[in-house]
């Protein structure tokens, strides 16, 4: 660990990088929260919630009754 800490001490303004990383992470997290709860995604989430129950990823309303 002494080898790493020696090189980190030689870098000027090394304390700035954790702050930048925190700002990037926080911005991404807030962006994902905003994207999740905006009203225009309601149809997307309604479509996605039924995919786990559909056979082969095809909605039952999309099936024409014929198989390939």
pLDDT in tens, 3-45: 667 767 777 777 788 889 999 999 999 999 998 888 887 888 8
Is residue 59 in a domain?
A: no
Contact (Cβ atoms closer than 8 angstroms) between residue 59 and residue 50 = yes
Domain assignment present for residue 66? The answer is: no
Domain that holds residue 16: 3-52
- Confirm whether 58 is domain-assigned: no
Domain tally, the chain: 1
The CA-atom distances, in angstroms, between 13 and each of 3, 4, 19 are 18, 16, 11
List the one residue out of 39, 60, 42, 40 whose CA is nearest residue 51: 60
67 is a domain residue = no
Prediction pTM value: 0.50
Note whether residue 26 is domain-resident.
yes
């Amino acid at each position: 660990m002494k080898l790493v800490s020696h090189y980190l001490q030689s870098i000027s303004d090394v304390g700035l990088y954790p702050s930048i990383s925190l700002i990037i992470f926080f911005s991404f997290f807030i962006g994902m929260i905003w994207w999740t709860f905006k009203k225009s995604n309601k149809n997307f989430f309604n479509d996605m919630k039924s995919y786990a129950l559909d056979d082969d990823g095809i909605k039952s309303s999309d099936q024409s009754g014929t198989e390939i």
